[in-house]
Amino acid sequence: CEVTENGKQYKEFYDTFQKREKNSKHYLISLDQIEELPPRDILEKSYVANKSGRARNKIPAIIELDEEFASLLGWFVAEGHFREGGTEKASYNDSAIASDNPQQREEIQRLFKQVFDYEASVNARQVSCCTSTIARLLSELCGNKADTKKVPEPIFNCEKPVREAFL
């Protein structure tokens, strides 16, 4: 099987790899190496993760912008923050969405589970997401500090119920 420069033979590569590989559920490809996205049927079975590849750091390669995801983005823009730190050897990225209301914290935790299949942690003040892949995604889409927060571009082009869920 040959993977072409322009990525047209990803499906053949993927199918061949699945047959040969004993642990075919895990195969890491650096995004820097991909010039063109694989076909949707492959992406639907794929995940994006950080360099560690740990299970808690993976998210689906395709996330539909539905009312659930829009609502989570709205919460992040309104009350969320992104944090990064650490050292060269051990860095971290995380995000949290603050709320004093227990029902709101439950709803935000439910949205993390629904959108990312991630169990966010909850305390008396906020819902925390300690996986760098999700934290970076939220930061890239929405901004990371109060003065850089923005409505994510895809929100402007979606259906009215999704825009309303964001608000």
Residues 27-70: pLDDT tens digits?
556 555 566 777 777 777 777 776 655 556 677 778 889 999 99
By residue count, the chain amounts to 167
Handedness of CA 121, 137, 25, 42 (dihedral sign): positive
Sheet holding 121-122, edge to edge: 80-86, 91-98, 126-129, 121-122
Its pTM stands at 0.75
Query: For residue 147, is pLDDT > 50?
Result: yes
pLDDT value for 87? 59
Residues 6+ apart with CB under 8 A from 85: 91, 92
| Identity at 119, one-letter amino acid code | E
Model confidence pLDDT, tens digit, residues 117-133:
889 999 999 998 888 88
Model confidence pLDDT, tens digit, residues 82-93:
877 665 555 556
Q: Are 135 and 82 in contact (CB under 8 A)?
A: yes
pLDDT value for 5? 45
pLDDT value for 32? 59
pLDDT value for 146? 83
